[in-house]
Chain A
């Protein structure tokens, strides 16, 4: 499968715990996005990477959220001190290098905070 992959697919955690999700974009896609999607809503932009540089971060994103893409390939999204309101589907998407805004989404990680 050469599409965007995410791990884990499901995560259940207790309030206050930290969680980390991984996204592997399509090979040679240098642009990577993280989104959060809640039931009945469209994906909400969280952050954007071009290669290893984090170029944009949503103002709505609290300091408990952090993302990295250390070598410009896979990316991780960490949520510290999880809250019940963090329960959602976390989607990753990637785009090719040049002249393409098409985003290819991964299957998502569904987070449930108890």
Chain B
């Protein structure tokens, strides 16, 4: 069935270091891969996304890479700042309408 696994569940980094979060998916028909950031008590917000015809996308300090063959994609945050502390969710969407989310990664950036 459809499944998205996300690792690690918790990640603690020093301010200025990089953070990498990885997700694997099972449905080879998945064609859209968004990443959402959710701060405590707030709604999820899209931070970056990538489509299956692109291998990498970058937006300032945030980048996403996609390996369709291996069915995994990763979020990279460089030069982390305390305000990057939040829960990050990966997700996949197939040609249908359902979006499947990972279980989330709680990122702590220590000042």
Chain A positions near chain B (C-beta within 8 angstroms):
31, 33, 35, 40-45, 48, 50, 55-56, 58, 91, 101-108
Contacts and interface: CB of A to CB of B under 8 A. Distances in A.
Interface stretch (B54-62, B63-71, B100-108): B100-108
A42 B34 contact: no
A105 B45 contact: yes
B43 A45 contact: no
13 contacts: A31-B97, A35-B101, A42-B89, A42-B101, A42-B104, A43-B89, A56-B96, A58-B98, A91-B44, A103-B34, A103-B99, A106-B43, A107-B42
B93 interface: yes
Contacts of B100: 45
Interface of B: 4, 6, 32, 34, 42-46, 49, 89, 91, 93, 96-104
Contacts of A35: 101
Contact of A43 (B44, B49, B97): B44
